[in-house]
Amino acid sequence: MNIVKKVAIIGAGNLGSQIAALSCKGGFCVEVFDVSESAIEKSKKALQISSIKYCSKRDELSKDCDLIIETVFENMRVKRNVLSWVDKYFTNSNVVICSNSSEFLPSSLCKKMQRKNRFCSYHFHSPSTHADIVDIMLHKKTDSDVPEVLTQFTKNIGLVPFVIKKEHKGYVFNTIFNEVIAQSISLAVQGIAKPEEIDRCWMVNTKMSIGPFGMIDLVGLDTVEDIMYNLLPKKPLNVFAIRYFKKYTKQNYLGKKTGQGFYTYPDPKFETKSFLE
């Protein structure tokens, strides 16, 4: 069985950086590749971990990495192209290659790969330091040792593995949560309640420390917009919902990562004591 020592993360954005930090903390050698120099600089600055090897060119990555985690944009064409070169580039015959995709099915993501049997989805929730579950979703051709390798790796980085043997768009938690998000946006679009009021209602009753719009800010409005495009049926209300989102994303109000979303950071209103009174 593949005993993971060296991890390569493809994409140094929001999730890629979080996974890099967790892997490093878990004692693994970590290499991170991104096509964007500015994404690399941002990740370096945010993590401040000198042992992570950052690469801005593919061939700087060590070819003998044991586990490859793809965390690029939620775009099928980009992901398939990345997974195709990753499949050819890394030489370990036991390599495990996975994607952190929120919405795409593994059997579809691996269409251009030769070693489909070494691939599955491996989905971290955000922020991965708080959300403990990591989804491991197999497709029909995934080798039986792959979930074992990922289960062990997940435990080693201090999180909880959750193996899903049958493909399902949105995994388990997200299937439930996307409905909450969709309904919350629908309420706001119809003017029934404002985002802050919807969060307050949710937080008071569930005793959770964050509401649906606070969660959208954490995930990133651009990422949620992608998810909405891919998941929501093209009904009139959903078209309004996407337009409503565009008003924010056009101004670079992408949530916590840009300092402004439905709330203003670093001290969003929903974290103040008076918010729930």
Binding residues for ligand NAD (CB under 6 A):
10-16, 33-36, 39, 71-74, 78, 82, 100-102, 123-126, 219-220, 223
**Residue with smaller CB distance to ligand NAD, 193 or 210:** 210
**Residue with smaller CB distance to ligand NAD, 251 or 272:** 251
**Residue with smaller CB distance to ligand NAD, 19 or 146:** 19
Could you tell me the smallest distance in angstroms from the CB atom of residue 112 to ligand NAD?
13
**Residue with smaller CB distance to ligand NAD, 209 or 272:** 209
Could you tell me the smallest distance in angstroms from the CB atom of residue 215 to ligand NAD?
9
**Residue with smaller CB distance to ligand NAD, 236 or 266:** 266
Could you tell me the smallest distance in angstroms from the CB atom of residue 249 to ligand NAD?
12
Could you tell me the smallest distance in angstroms from the CB atom of residue 241 to ligand NAD?
18
| Residue sitting closest to ligand NAD (CB) | 13
Q: Which residues does 224 contact at the CB level (< 8 Å), separation at least 6?
A: 181, 216, 245
